[in-house]
Amino acid sequence: MPVPATALCLILVLFSTRNAGGVCLASNKITFPALFAFGDSIVDTGNNNKRFTIAKANIPPYGRDFPGGAATGRFGNGKNALSIKDQLNLFKECVRKLERGIGQEKANATISKSLFLVSQGNNDIAITYFLFHFLYDIDAYTTQLVNSASSFIKDMYELGARKFACLSLIPLGYLPISRTFGGGFQRNSVDWLTQAAVKFNSKLEHELNHLNSNLPGTRILYIDIYNPLVDLIQNHKKYGFEDSSHGCCGTGLIELNYGCNELLSSFTCCNSSSHVFWDAGHPSERAYRMIISQLVDNISHQLLDI
């Protein structure tokens, strides 16, 4: 979910008018003027507290590993990596504010050099398809989702965006909540849900390659977080994790949103770094860090090479 337009534009104005260093993406301090994150709770920055929705994480123990331990609304224990249409409209508002603040020329330059992080499709498959898969043809459904992602990128391109990092779906069949409701007595991974994510990812990568060839001056990267996360889950002991099938919060079986709360504090693990998952649907900060550390330098060099 995006930063509110007014606040985000203020940040961008400060970057643009004071020649600030921008957003550092790599260990060698390669920077971008700004980072815009669009999508679902995998990249959720926690700014929906004032919106009418049950999808909130503004109660403890969410955010307990932040400085001060406050729950900000982010779906995680610490740092991590709206409908997409609403997010697009908010960005349009941000562009207008930025143009008024620093002028159209500087605004265009800032936007064209910024990094746009997109995560789309996880909820569509993990929730909608999981609950109603008997109503859908998965091949047609994943094609529809990829077409939606493609249309979003084209819309952003028309607004001046040129550098995109598009995340794959995570291994949805391995989520603790998926195991609980679809994995049987032994809570195995849910193969049909995992295969739906694999099918989407394959189509998304193909479509992004097509867009790269047809949108001049654009660099669109497909970022595979599916396989690195599967590796962490299947080989969690190797990476120093104690558990990869339960979330840290509560029992680790089903707790999400308001289900992850202080009433379950006696069940919540003491050290979230011991778990691959923070709650029943989101990786822990340590898992995010390990995945991103494998990707970030390569991503930044490819995106700056235009």
- Residues tagged active-site: 41, 279, 282
Question: What DSSP string runs through 225-236?
Answer: -HHHHHHHHHTT
**CA distances to 73, 168, 220, 245 from 211, in Å:** 34, 16, 8, 37
Is residue 277 within 8 A of residue 176, CB to CB? The reply is: yes
Q: Which stretch of DSSP H or E encloses residue 116? A: strand 115-119
Q: From CA 222, how far away is CA 157, in angstroms rounded?
A: 16
Bridge partners for 38 per DSSP = 118
Q: What is the largest CA-CA distance in the chain?
A: 61
SS3 call for 118: strand
Single-letter residue type at 180: T
User: Which of 134, 158, 165 has its CA nearest to residue 39?
Assistant: 165
- For 205, counting Cβ atoms within 10 Å of its Cβ (0-12 exposed, 13-18 middle, 19+ buried), the class is middle
